[in-house]
Structure 1
Amino acid sequence: MSETVILWLRRDLRLADHPALARARRGAERLVPLYIDATAEEGDWRPGAASRWWLHHSLAALDRDLRRRGSGLVIARGADSLGALRRIATACGATRVCWGRRYEPAARAADARTELQLRADGLRCEVVAGNLLFEPWDLATEANGPYRVFSAYWRRAVARLAVPELIPAPEALPPLPPGLSGLPIDALGLLPRSRWDAGLARAWTPGEAGALARARAFVDGPLAAYGQRRDLPAMSGTSRLSPHLHFGEIGPRQLVRMIAERGLPLDDGPAEPYVRELGWREFAHHLIHHFPHTTDAPLDGRFADFPWQDDAAQLAAWQQGRTGIPLIDAGLRELWATGWMHNRVRMAAASLLTKNLRLPWQAGARWFWATLVDADLASNTLGWQWTAGCGADAAPYFRIFNPVRQGERFDPDGDYVRRWCPELARLPARFIHQPWAAPANVLAEAGVRLDSDYPRPIVDLAASRRAALAAWETIKGRA
């Protein structure tokens, strides 16, 4: 029996290897690819400005791809998704709704309520996986509980990891129901009013075509040396696929398939470190499913009583890349300009905030959420709690990154710092990561005036390390 089917799109803005799309096409005479702007369902974690910029361009790219196949993207908005789904279903006579799962706590609860009401309305609902290698409940410990240590989780996962058969992108799609229309993308107001986004536009190509091009370039190039270069922020050694993965413009199954088609094993050799990073993303979703409170509260309950500091001036200096510590400032400036920060620098920046400045990890998580194009609640939560020492498989609290040593080790010539802190560009490599230690004549020759051109450090690294360890002593013995 032919019917009209709604394909409810969220974090799966692609056409290739799209299980919900494949399910929706079965028996569909008319198909309604639908995106609903209902950010209230995100709870306290509504998308930040950088994510909204990406979403605008991703939706536009998807609409173009759909139109080339005889369809188009219908856009709606509302206080919640249910009202829009009901309205569209009534307008086009839809009998079935298909969608891919979301995993964030507030979104998951909203989806459950929506499904219940749609079924009560008489609509058939088909909910499928699609953006993970494993569903968060697929893997369990021997005691049938959730994992809290990545190494154990990944051993179980990689033993089950197989090269997937992908669903090809359709060459044509059923048409939209006649007379059905939605909002223009611009009506969602996703782009910034003051156009600060030029750096994002130079750095990224949102959409499925951009995702596939970046993935192919990575697998054919930097993947071979990923294990050696991924920690070097001045080099193009990482995939930079995280925003594409977050918005579902490409899925991890596709990446695994691409790697396998190059003849590379998944659990050994040059591809293994990158496949393991995909596993870290899986682990993040495993954790947020089983421990939903961790978006705002520490998994390690002892940290609920940690003596965090409250210093708005220091937080602002960190956010603005004005800490006086070059590696950290370079990272925060890269973030502001491009919506992305190299992962090694993310760890160093998070360590400085939560340990040397002793500001709460939630403040850093919120800033990343607002400024990252790859802001993903599961990964953001895991990353910040890992560095702060209060999450699953966390770095011990007493592991405090020294940002000078990190810079000297991973940016030895200072190329990364020179790019993002051009006022330091003429300093010799010996002093590029600690300009305060340079003799006056070296500073003068480099044209650097501390406190004028570039600030002195806002914190003493050695003294603040001792203070952080003393703070840890106040809670470490608690149950």
Structure 2
Amino acid sequence: MSLAVVSGRAPFACFVSALHPCGRRSFRRALGMYRKMLLPRDRTAEDLEGKGTVILWFRNDLRLHDNATLTMANTGSALLPVYVFDPRLFGSESGKSQLWGFSKTGPIRTRFLVESVENLRKNLMSLQSKLIVRVGKPEEVIAELARSVQSENNPVTVMASKEAAFEERRVEHRLTRNLLEIEGPSGPPELKLAWEGTLHHLRDLPFNPKNTTPPVFTQYRKIIEVSASVRPELPSLTKLKPLPSVEVDAGTMPTLDSLTDEVQPPEDERSVLKFKGGEDAALERIDNWIWKQDLLRKYKEIRNGSGTAEFSSKLSSWLALGCISPRRVHANVKKYEEERVADENTYWLIFELITRDFFRWMMVKEDTRLFAWKGYSQLANLGQRHRGGSSGGTSWGAARDLDFAKVPASDEDIQNLAKWIKGETGVPFVDAGMRELRATGFMSNRLRQNVASFLIHDLAFPDWRAGAEYFESALIDHDVAANYGNWAYIAGVGSDPQGGRRFNMVLQAQTYDGDATFTKLWCPELKQIPGGMCHQIFKMDDSELEEYGVRLGKDYPRSIAQVKDFKYGKKDVNPGGGKQFDSRNNRGPHGQKRDKGRKRR
């Protein structure tokens, strides 16, 4: 099955009528008002024509191809590309997550980012331009650059891509305020923003994302596939406007040690792929995986596997930083369908891009509620119980709201969180995934769902956001909307009409790593256990394990989960992979009595 995109007024009107009983006219008026609010300074390229120097502030759009922000910025008289490493995002005390204290950008993701910026600098130089690199707060650094390059006959405009998350928007607002303090020949420098990062453009959506993004993905997908089209890629630029006449020092690339105080782990030979940051590596990956290896042909069949580079496209790391555009991926899929085959495999890669967009629009709609303990699901908010906790110092400006505070956790909870992070839970499939993540910054999508379910449901950790914050630090492909949206989904407080997903670890391991090749790769202590028997290590007694050189508690940890939670050999009762999580009972993050009757080893 190939993706069908239908254009025209009839389908649009149909869905508008269904979603907005007030009628199309009121809806379009409201939609237009919202888009102006979300993108107050979104302009066309013609608006910058001949208007002096444009400072192009690169953010999560680190590429030259199909870059709307670059295309618009290149219409000024001069162009000054800039990237700013914000110390608030790295391993110092200011760069720690607000609740559980993880580095917002861990060492592996930091390395990938530095590589991506270095590659951008190289590619800009090939077009006779250069990238100004600074370390500091962007709202201060960009304003100071605007002040330094502005002159009586040279007005300055700052151009950047628009971000949807709260902290990034706050930086935009502070930069706007700082620019207003600069006197210019035609008034203060202006910050202009372009929408980037999604497959479907904001202005092409058949609904108001602020108010009426469908709360369930299936509803969203059906609307998008019928009533929205993907814009064609923008032509690649072969020439950039000259640098401003005022000389600006290019700056040196920061070292990893200067950005983060965490130790950079050595490259692990078990990594499924040598992830190299930058546009060049992204384009090489899509060329190899889709065209040379012809792996798109069986994508749906193999995408849930772990342990090799072939199982999935693994483009998410480059998409997260904008080293490749989702439209470039989409264009390659459509070309593949025309030249080779169009079926459910090709559709499924587009499906993944649509899913990625969905979480972005949900973040636009829910804003800071994406980071709330009780989440944004209507189901999750039914019968929500009051809880205690410290409300100090949240990033979202909601310190008085306990739902944004850190949830109290017992000493046992904290110990189990540490074991989960290190891959020492005693559950082989979970441990393998967590060890891979810690060593390489990558983990398959299927394993992400499993380890999240394990922390939330099997370990009953009181705050699902601890897992989300650790993923934010560790994953090289971290995307704030997708990461927190998926964790909320598993916890039953996000976009899931079934109230959460609990996965059966044994069944999942048997299904996606039946012979335990991946598990034993990362848990070599278990390599002597025949086949996939290690997935059911809980059923083996100590004497049997010793025959295979395994002593629980010495060679490999005993399980810290409740053994009876594993239902061996039974099929999952829902697509999520096991017993459903219900926010209205005493299980998981919403139950005051979650410890009642719980036993652990």
Structure 2 counterparts to residues 99-178 of structure 1, below 5 A:
99-115=160-176, 117-118=178-179, 121=182, 122-135=188-201, 138-140=205-207, 145-177=212-244, 178=246
Q: CA deviation at 1:167?
A: 2.0
1:459 to 561, 569, 572: 561
Unmatched tracts of structure 1, length 5 or more: none
Q: CA deviation at 1:469?
A: 6.7
Q: Which residue of 1 aligns with 2:37?
A: none
Structure 2 counterparts to residues 278-317 of structure 1, below 5 A:
278-292=353-367, 293-297=369-373, 298-299=375-376, 300-302=380-382, 305=385, 310=410, 311-317=413-419
**1:303–1:150 Cα change, 3 Å:** farther
Structure 2 counterparts to residues 222-371 of structure 1, below 5 A:
222-235=295-308, 236-263=310-337, 269-292=344-367, 293-297=369-373, 298-299=375-376, 300-302=380-382, 305=385, 310=410, 311-359=413-461, 360-371=463-474
Q: CA deviation at 1:88?
A: 0.8
Partner Cα separation in structure 2 for residue 140 and residue 100 of structure 1: 22
- Give the aligned residue type for 1:222: L
- Give the aligned residue type for 2:86: A
- Give the aligned residue type for 1:337: A
**Local SS of the residue matching 1:305:** coil
Q: CA deviation at 1:302?
A: 4.6
Q: CA deviation at 1:168?
A: 3.2
Partner Cα separation in structure 1 for residue 520 and residue 67 of structure 2: 42
Partner Cα separation in structure 2 for residue 159 and residue 131 of structure 1: 21
Q: Which residue of 2 aligns with 1:90?
A: 147
Partner Cα separation in structure 1 for residue 536 and residue 487 of structure 2: 25
1:38 to 52, 62, 86: 86
Partner Cα separation in structure 2 for residue 470 and residue 219 of structure 1: 40
**1:18–1:266 Cα change, 3 Å:** farther
**Local SS of the residue matching 1:203:** coil
- Give the aligned residue type for 1:90: R
Partner Cα separation in structure 2 for residue 367 and residue 39 of structure 1: 18
Instruction: Confirm or deny: 8 A CA contact 2:419 2:425 kept in the other structure.
Output: yes
Partner Cα separation in structure 2 for residue 435 and residue 96 of structure 1: 63
Instruction: Confirm or deny: 8 A CA contact 2:104 2:473 kept in the other structure.
Output: no
Q: Deviations over 1:337-363 (max 9, x none)?
A: 110111111111111100111112111
**Local SS of the residue matching 2:61:** coil
Q: Deviations over 1:377-434 (max 9, x none)?
A: 101111101111111125534x421111110111111111011111111211241212
- Give the aligned residue type for 1:32: L
- Give the aligned residue type for 2:297: A
Q: CA deviation at 1:169?
A: 2.9
Who wins on radius of gyration, i.e. which is larger?
A: 2
- Give the aligned residue type for 1:169: S
Partner Cα separation in structure 1 for residue 146 and residue 272 of structure 2: 36
Q: CA deviation at 1:303?
A: 8.4
Q: Which moved more, 1:172-181 or 1:39-48?
A: 39-48
Q: Which residue of 1 aligns with 2:522?
A: 420
Structure 2 counterparts to residues 55-66 of structure 1, below 5 A:
55-66=113-124
Q: Which residue of 2 aligns with 1:196?
A: 265
Q: Which residue of 2 aligns with 1:411?
A: 513
- Give the aligned residue type for 1:7: L
Partner Cα separation in structure 1 for residue 436 and residue 428 of structure 2: 12
Partner Cα separation in structure 2 for residue 124 and residue 224 of structure 1: 47
**Local SS of the residue matching 1:446:** coil
Q: CA deviation at 1:117?
A: 4.8
Q: Deviations over 1:202-245 (max 9, x none)?
A: 72111001111112223233221111111122443211111111
**Local SS of the residue matching 2:344:** coil
**Local SS of the residue matching 1:271:** helix
Q: CA deviation at 1:459?
A: 1.4
- Give the aligned residue type for 2:110: R
**Local SS of the residue matching 1:450:** coil
Q: Which residue of 1 aligns with 2:483?
A: 380
2:534 to 432, 437, 440: 432
- Give the aligned residue type for 1:224: R
TM norm structure 1: 0.89
Partner Cα separation in structure 1 for residue 290 and residue 180 of structure 2: 43
- Give the aligned residue type for 1:82: E
Partner Cα separation in structure 2 for residue 174 and residue 191 of structure 1: 35
Instruction: Confirm or deny: 8 A CA contact 2:436 2:442 kept in the other structure.
Output: yes
Q: Which moved more, 1:293-302 or 1:346-355?
A: 293-302
Instruction: Confirm or deny: 8 A CA contact 2:510 2:535 kept in the other structure.
Output: yes
**1:83–1:439 Cα change, 3 Å:** closer
Q: CA deviation at 1:57?
A: 1.1
**Local SS of the residue matching 1:352:** helix
Instruction: Confirm or deny: 8 A CA contact 1:387 1:394 kept in the other structure.
Output: no
- Give the aligned residue type for 1:247: L
User: Aligned pair count?
Assistant: 475
**1:25–1:472 Cα change, 3 Å:** same
Instruction: Confirm or deny: 8 A CA contact 1:37 1:76 kept in the other structure.
Output: yes
**Local SS of the residue matching 1:224:** helix
**Local SS of the residue matching 1:429:** coil
Partner Cα separation in structure 1 for residue 210 and residue 487 of structure 2: 28
**1:152–1:95 Cα change, 3 Å:** same
Q: Which residue of 2 aligns with 1:450?
A: 552
**1:74–1:450 Cα change, 3 Å:** same
Which is richer in helix? Answer: 1
Q: Which moved more, 1:194-203 or 1:19-28?
A: 194-203
- Give the aligned residue type for 1:393: D
Q: CA deviation at 1:436?
A: 3.3
Q: CA deviation at 1:10?
A: 0.5
- Give the aligned residue type for 1:104: A
Q: CA deviation at 1:166?
A: 1.5
Partner Cα separation in structure 1 for residue 381 and residue 253 of structure 2: 43
Q: CA deviation at 1:254?
A: 0.8
- Give the aligned residue type for 1:107: E
Partner Cα separation in structure 1 for residue 236 and residue 130 of structure 2: 15
**Local SS of the residue matching 1:262:** helix
Q: CA deviation at 1:201?
A: 11
1:217 to 283, 288, 294: 288
**Local SS of the residue matching 1:55:** helix
Q: CA deviation at 1:144?
A: 6.0
TM norm structure 2: 0.72
**1:430–1:95 Cα change, 3 Å:** closer
Unmatched tracts of structure 2, length 5 or more: 1-49, 90-94, 183-187, 388-406, 568-577, 593-601
Q: Deviations over 1:92-148 (max 9, x none)?
A: 225222111111112123313423553674224331112112356834379962321
**1:285–1:303 Cα change, 3 Å:** farther
**Local SS of the residue matching 1:34:** strand
Partner Cα separation in structure 2 for residue 303 and residue 229 of structure 1: 41
Q: 1:26 and 2:75 equivalent? A: yes
Instruction: Confirm or deny: 8 A CA contact 2:206 2:228 kept in the other structure.
Output: no
Instruction: Confirm or deny: 8 A CA contact 1:369 1:375 kept in the other structure.
Output: yes
- Give the aligned residue type for 1:456: R
Q: Which moved more, 1:19-28 or 1:298-307?
A: 298-307
- Give the aligned residue type for 2:371: T
Instruction: Confirm or deny: 8 A CA contact 2:206 2:227 kept in the other structure.
Output: no
Q: Which residue of 1 aligns with 2:252?
A: 184
